[in-house]
A and B are shown apart, each in its own frame.
Chain A
Amino acid sequence: MNLRAVRAIYLFEMNRTWRTIAQSIVAPVVSTVLYFVVFGGAIGSRITEVDGVSYGTFIVPGLIMLSVLTQSVANASFGIYIPRFTGTIYEVLSAPITFFEIVLGYVGAAATKSIILGLIILGTASLIVPLQVAHPFWMMLFLVLTAVTFSLLGFIIGIWADSFEKLQVVPLLVITPLAFLGGSFYSINMLPPFWQTVTLFNPMVYLISGFRWSFYEIADVSLEVSLGMVTLFLVVCLLMVRWIFKTGYRLKG
């Protein structure tokens, strides 16, 4: 294992984060606070409680997930797209490192960044609404699994994209809508039965439900199902990344 290489990529990517700290951390925190104002304040005054929890408190896990999902994808896709775009990828391709080590470096850094972000949002939220975390271990587990899985997905998007437009389009048209519709801001029990069924095809539902359970012990689907789905997602992404490196898809001509 070329740990020095993993470390070099990881630190290089984290360095990029510190350099763009405003974009990386401040912007998502600000937009989260705005969500609180709009959803928690405006809508929350109409919907007072969901499953016995005040609305402002109820949306916190969903909000964190929303940011972690979108930021993981954004971080990781940019992290690998930029060297492809500028051509500096040649160095990584010519280095004595395995695909696993490359992924560990890039995806590790992207995931670290969004985990930190998730925790900052959690801290910010706790200043605004009363919060409790019933199962901190499970909370961290869901947070880490989600960050890693979606960073992998971002990595795949960053390799697939051959233009900045494509880089933006998947997060914008697929990931953010699915996260919104996956119960970030409501319990799917609030939907008509037909839409409840449709929603079960949305993978985000399982992430958000499991994550919310770790806070308030309320869930739309069972914990086991949530965990199983996240793991399945993770494995699918890993297999795709493995295939990319095996074939050199979009990396090697």
Chain B
Amino acid sequence: MMETIISVSQLSKTYAGGFQALKAVDLEIEKGEIFALLGPNGAGKTTLIGIICGILNPSEGSVSVGGHDIIEDFIKTRSMIGLVPQELTTDTFETVWTTVTFSRGLFGKKADPKHIEDLLKKLSLWEKKDSRIMALSGGMKRRVMIAKALSHEPKILFLDEPTAGVDVELRKDMWEVVKVLRESGVTIILTTHYIEEAEEMADRIGVINNGEIVLVDAKTELMRKLGTKQLTIELQQPLDRIPAALSSHDLELAAEGTQLVYTYDTQAERTGITTLLNELYQAGIKFKDLSTSQSSLEDIFVNLVKRPS
């Protein structure tokens, strides 16, 4: 039985200019999971996170974190949350050490130099602890922001596009940190355009578009439901065109006519594979091998957001 840690209910947000960025969003985040919020630019990801963290006022609806309302009980809810915002915003003149220590104090936690030291070491910032932030590279600044968010040992961590414009090494380090956090029971919510990331890391995925949650599902479930599969048939003799007898199937020729690729929907009543293979046999087309592959989240995602709403 999963325990809900964040519950978003009928949440809407209309900005001062009249633009509605969120439309009656309902969403439940489970304790201890890694949840990926996927969506194109302007979908409302940052707005949703901003409201949960207390940076933006909601227009309608409510959010509870750990069973507490984010408005009435904001002291309790905010104590639980660490946020790494999308924009690189850091103090320029402070040193890494003072800015991270400041964050811990700001969240009302007792000073703990050992914890900060461990954190900086994990994020490869220890050597830079006395450097002023303005002297750091963009990737290093991103690390500082992660350290700030983790300085107060949050139970829930929001990572808003954590890997946008970040080098490979930092991505690797970051996922390492995320894995360790998750093992210690921290709930992680991340937004990204990088679908591989969601695919690799997340337990569940939510897709948001135009301020609406399009769907939320376990990653494997999502792929099963929405995935199309491809059956690749390796031919013994290359074909120069698809025989007319097979034109009723969704077929393509590949690898200079040596492969036939059949695309089918895993959700369909019948996949059509048996019929296809029968017809191949009747048409006298011989094959050496068969293989199937599943569409990636990327394909699923593109399909979803392209779909008119």
Chain A residues engaging chain B, CB cutoff 8 angstroms: 2, 4-5, 7-9, 11-12, 15-16, 19, 86-88, 90-98, 248, 252-253
Contacts and interface: CB of A to CB of B under 8 A. Distances in A.
B77 to A, nearest CB: 8
B92 A86 contact: yes
Contacts of A87: 85, 87, 89
Contacts of B110: 4
Contact of A253 (B16, B91, B102, B103): B16
Nearest to B107: A95
B160 to A, nearest CB: 10
A92 B106 contact: yes
Given A94-B54, A94-B55, A7 B91 contact: no
Contacts of A90: 55, 83, 85, 89
B55 A88 contact: no
A185 B253 CA distance: 94
B103 A91 contact: yes
- Chain A CB within 10 Å — which of B77, B90, B108, B110 has the most? B108
A146 B289 CA distance: 87
Contacts of A4: 105-106, 108-110
Size class of the B contact interface (CB-based, 8 Å):
35 or more
24 contacts: A4-B106, A5-B108, A7-B105, A8-B104, A8-B106, A9-B106, A12-B94, A15-B94, A16-B93, A86-B92, A87-B89, A90-B85, A91-B103, A94-B54, A94-B55, A94-B78, A96-B75, A96-B77, A96-B79, A96-B108, A98-B75, A252-B55, A252-B56, A252-B57
A11 B104 CA distance: 13
Interface string B41-79: 000000000100111110000000000000000111111
A116 to B, nearest CB: 21
Contact of A19 (B87, B89, B93, B103): B93
Given A4-B109, A93-B55, A88 B78 contact: no
Contacts of A88: 89-91
Contacts of B204: none
A96 B91 contact: no
Contact of A248 (B57, B78, B85, B104): B57
A253 B56 contact: yes
A248 B74 CA distance: 14
A204 B81 CA distance: 45
Interface string B207-218: 000000000000
B50 to A, nearest CB: 8
Interface string B115-151: 0000000000000000000000000000000001000
Given A12-B102, A88-B89, A252-B57, 4 more contacts: A94-B55, A94-B83, A96-B79, A253-B57
A91 B148 contact: yes
Contacts of B109: 4
B175 interface: no
Nearest to A93: B55
A2 B106 CA distance: 8
A93 B53 CA distance: 8
A11 B57 CA distance: 29
B98 interface: yes
- Chain A CB within 10 Å — which of B16, B56, B89 has the most? B89
Contacts of B76: 96
A16 to B, nearest CB: 8
B281 interface: no
B15 interface: yes
Contacts of B102: 8, 12
Contacts of A97: 75, 106, 108
Nearest to A94: B53
Given A91-B148, A93-B55, A94-B54, A15 B92 contact: no
B79 to A, nearest CB: 4
B88 to A, nearest CB: 9
A5 B106 CA distance: 4
B75 to A, nearest CB: 4
A139 to B, nearest CB: 34
Contacts of A11: 105
Name the 4 nearest CB pairs between A and B, nearest first.
A8-B105, A87-B89, A96-B78, A2-B108
A164 B102 CA distance: 26
A252 to B, nearest CB: 5
Contact of A5 (B74, B87, B90, B107): B107
B11 to A, nearest CB: 15
Contacts of B85: 87, 90
Contacts of B83: 90-91, 94
A86 B89 contact: yes
